[in-house]
C-alpha cells in the first residue's frame, strides 16, 4: 500500500479559525488539496462566504459559525489560529472586539489545543514590531509599539497572544508555532479593506485618484498569498522543537509611489496620484529578515510582485 493512499485512509482533522477570511480561505483549500479534513470556523465579521463556497461540496470540509472570543469544543489534530481582522479599517472599527478576538481567542484556542494535544499555529504579524527602529526586522527585535494609539488594539493584542502561546507552551507543554506575517496580497482581499494594494488596484480600475498617505517614500514588502500559505504549512509540519516566532514575508522592498506607478502600468489606468497626511503610528518602513524561515523551513517566496499583482488585478476586475 502506498504511503499517499495510507495517509488518505486516516486524514488529519485540521481546524482553521478565520477560515473564510483572506488568508484562511486559501489555507482551507491548501489543506483540502493535501487530503486532510478541514473544520472552518468563522463568525463572518470580515470573512466572506463566497471565499469558501467552492469548498462546500467537499465531504472533508465542514463550516462552523462561531466567534473565537468564546470557547469552542471540537476534536482536532492541528489548529491554525487565523481569526482576527487584519486591516486597520476593520480592526479599528471595533477595537474592543479586536482585543477580545486576539487575546480571549488565543486563550480559548490554546485551551482547546491543551485538551486535544493538538499542534497549534498562531498567525501573528509584523505589526508587533510597530514603527521599527531596526531595519530590516529580525525575530529578535522587540519592536516600537504605541500601546495607547489607534493601532494598539491589534498590535498589542497580537503581542499578548504571543505571550500566551509561550506561557501555555512552558506551563502546559502545548505544541505551539508562531508565524509573524508581513504584508500579504492576492485574490480574496476585500476591495474596501483599506490596505494599500487593494486600495491602489480598486482606485486604478475605477479611474479614481490614487491616494497615497505620506510623501510616498515609506516602504513595504509584499508577499503573494500562495507563498505565505506555503510558509504556514511548512511551519506546521516542523517538529515540536520548532516554536518560532518565524518571519514570513517577501524581503523585496518597494516605496508606496513605486507600487502605485507599477499598478497604474499593469492596469493601463490614467488615474492621478494624490498625497494625503500619514495616519498616526503608521510605520515608515518594513522588511522582514527571513533567514530563519529559509534555514528552518527551506522557505522563500517564489512569486514576484509583477506576476502576483497581475493575478490580484484580475480578481478585483472580476469583482468590480
CB 241 within 8 A of CB 203: no
**All three cell numbers of 93:** 472599527
Q: Quick check: helix, strand or coil at residue 93?
A: helix
Concerning whether 154 is annotated as a catalytic residue, the answer is yes
Q: How far apart, in whole angstroms, are the C-alpha atoms of residue 103 and residue 157?
A: 6
Rg (CA), the chain: 19
**All three cell numbers of 273:** 496620484
Query: Which residue among the candidates 91, 129, 141, 154 is catalytic per the annotation?
Result: 154
Q: How far apart, in whole angstroms, are the C-alpha atoms of residue 186 and residue 227?
A: 10
Distances in whole angstroms, Cα of residue 249 to Cα of each of 7, 140, 165, 230: 30, 16, 21, 11
**All three cell numbers of 72:** 469552542
CB 159 within 8 A of CB 128: yes
Determine whether 186 is exposed, middle or buried from the number of CB atoms within 10 Å of its CB (0-12, 13-18, 19+). Answer: buried
Phi/psi of residue 170, each to 5°?
-70, -40
Q: How far apart, in whole angstroms, are the C-alpha atoms of residue 67 and residue 72?
A: 9
Strand residues in the chain grouped as ranges (E): 13-17, 37-42, 61-65, 78-81, 119-125, 175-181, 184-185, 210-213, 219-221, 223-224, 246-248, 253-255, 273-276
**All three cell numbers of 197:** 494594494
Residue 168 DSSP symbol? H
Residue 53: CB atoms within 10 A of its CB come to 11
Residues annotated catalytic, as ranges: 154
Amino acid at each position: 500500500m502506498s504511503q499517499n493512499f495510507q495517509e488518505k485512509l486516516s486524514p488529519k482533522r485540521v481546524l482553521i479559525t478565520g477560515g473564510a477570511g483572506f488568508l484562511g480561505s486559501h489555507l482551507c483549500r491548501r489543506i483540502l488539496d493535501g487530503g486532510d479534513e478541514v473544520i472552518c470556523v468563522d463568525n463572518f465579521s470580515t470573512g466572506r462566504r463566497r471565499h469558501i463556497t467552492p469548498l462546500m461540496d467537499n465531504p472533508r470540509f465542514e463550516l462552523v459559525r462561531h466567534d473565537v472570543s468564546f470557547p469552542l469544543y471540537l476534536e482536532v489534530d492541528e489548529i491554525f489560529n487565523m481569526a482576527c481582522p487584519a486591516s486597520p479599517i476593520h480592526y479599528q472599527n471595533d477595537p474592543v472586539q479586536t482585543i477580545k478576538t486576539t487575546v480571549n481567542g488565543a486563550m480559548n484556542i490554546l485551551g482547546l489545543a491543551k485538551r486535544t494535544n493538538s499542534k497549534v499555529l498562531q498567525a501573528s504579524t509584523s505589526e508587533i514590531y510597530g514603527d521599527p527602529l531596526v531595519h530590516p526586522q529580525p525575530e529578535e527585535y522587540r519592536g516600537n509599539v504605541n500601546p495607547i494609539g489607534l493601532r494598539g488594539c491589534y498590535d498589542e493584542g497580537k503581542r499578548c497572544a504571543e505571550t500566551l502561546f509561550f506561557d501555555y507552551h512552558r506551563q502546559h507543554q502545548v505544541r505551539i508555532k508562531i508565524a509573524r506575517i508581513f504584508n500579504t496580497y492576492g485574490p480574496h482581499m476585500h476591495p474596501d479593506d483599506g490596505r494599500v494594494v487593494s486600495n491602489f488596484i480598486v482606485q486604478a480600475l475605477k479611474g479614481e485618484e490614487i491616494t497615497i498617505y505620506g510623501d510616498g517614500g515609506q516602504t513595504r514588502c509584499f508577499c503573494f498569498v500562495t507563498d505565505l500559505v506555503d510558509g504556514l504549512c511548512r511551519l506546521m509540519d516542523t517538529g515540536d522543537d520548532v516554536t518560532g516566532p518565524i518571519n514570513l514575508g517577501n524581503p523585496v522592498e518597494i516605496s508606496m509611489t513605486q507600487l502605485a506607478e507599477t499598478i497604474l502600468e499593469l492596469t493601463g489606468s490614467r488615474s492621478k496620484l494624490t498625497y494625503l497626511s500619514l495616519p498616526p503610528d503608521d510605520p515608515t518602513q518594513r522588511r522582514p529578515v527571513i533567514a530563519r524561515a529559509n534555514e528552518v523551513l527551506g522557505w522563500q517566496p517564489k512569486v514576484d510582485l509583477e506576476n502576483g499583482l497581475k493575478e490580484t488585478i484580475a480578481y478585483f476586475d472580476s469583482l468590480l
